[in-house]
Amino acid sequence: MKPPTYDELISLAARRFREAGLDRARSEAMMLMIHAFGGSHLALISAGNSPVPKTVEEDFLAAVARRAAREPAQHIMGETHFYGLDIVTDARALIPRTDSECVVTAALDRLPKDGPLWLADLGTGTGCLLAALLTQRPEASGEGVEASPEAAQLARANLEKHRLTDRSAIFIGSWANWQGWPKADLIISNPPYIASDVIAGLEPEVRKHEPLMALDGGQDGLNCYREIIALGAAGMKPGAWLVLEIGYDQKEAVLGLMALAGFESLASGQDLGSNDRWVAGCRPR
């Protein structure tokens, strides 16, 4: 039997993805084929009419079956690109989103470009925020705080992958029990912020494949903000910054919490989709 070509397998996968309700069917098929193929996008286009080696075909079709079942592509490929870094990604932690890159930029804008700094990432998950900050500030060191031992293990793997272990540590436990509040020059966090009753209606990729503890922000989605802001107001050193990722409709609520807690120089910003995505405040000197 004549082996299928790359173009034929990509078209087959795109049809399956459309039937599964995926919006970007062909681009996702191309992405998974590039992963199985092991070459560049341009090389895959050039090979379009060539027969596919059996091992590549088997790997690709297995990936297609997983994606058609609504498993996230990032889990299938095992990594995702974030702020110039390839981050190891699996079901132990929330998948890094492009939308979160603006939160890193907001933090960097509030930090000196050189000199020793100590940074912290609360609910570090994959460690992507901490890794991005430390990569951009090579004289800085920092710590990720993570309640899940499994996610903490993943964060350590990513910090090791990017040769950041000599400037970083992971604390396993709650941010309420963490002792680094008075030490940090800046604290960043992408906490759970989805309202509990919204979770059942999320896409299967999120609802079935990402940790509930990384999603559920309580009845109004603000539980973690209340806790982090109160702890920061009580324990952060004067002049330190708190930078928080937020949901698209949470800016006013979280800024209000920060103002009530006494934070100054309040600011906010949007992601590339023009959705409110971060807020920041400084502990008074």
- Boundaries of every domain in the chain: 6-69, 79-282
Feature table: binding site for S-adenosyl-L-methionine: 123-127, 146, 175, 190
Please report the pLDDT score of residue 48 as a whole number. 83
Cβ atoms of 225 and 257 within 8 Å: the answer is: yes
d(CA 199, CA 182): 34
Instruction: Concatenate the DSSP letters of all residues of 147-193 into one string.
Output: S-HHHHHHHHHHHHHTT-GGGEEEEES-TTT-S-TTT-SEEEE----
Distance between CA atoms of 184 and 121, rounded to whole angstroms? 10
Contact by Cβ (8 Å): 76, 252: no
Q: What is the CATH number of domain 79-282?
A: 3.40.50.150
Model pTM score: 0.93
Digit-by-digit pLDDT tens for the chain (285 residues) are 788 999 999 999 999 999 999 999 999 999 999 999 888 888 888 888 999 999 999 999 999 999 999 999 999 999 999 999 999 999 999 999 999 999 999 999 999 999 999 999 999 999 999 999 999 999 999 999 999 999 999 999 999 999 999 999 999 999 999 999 999 999 999 999 999 999 999 999 999 999 999 999 999 999 999 999 999 999 999 999 999 999 999 999 999 999 999 999 999 999 999 999 999 999 999
pLDDT at position 41 is 86
Binding residues for substrate: 190-193
Q: For residue 255, which of 239, 236, 237, 268 has the smallest C-alpha distance?
A: 268
pLDDT recorded at residue 59: 96
Other C-beta atoms lying within 10 Å of the C-beta of residue 68: 17
| Binding site residue list | 123-127, 146, 175, 190-193
Residue 2 confidence (pLDDT): 83
Close Cβ partners of 272 (under 8 Å, ≥ 6 residues apart): 98, 99, 102
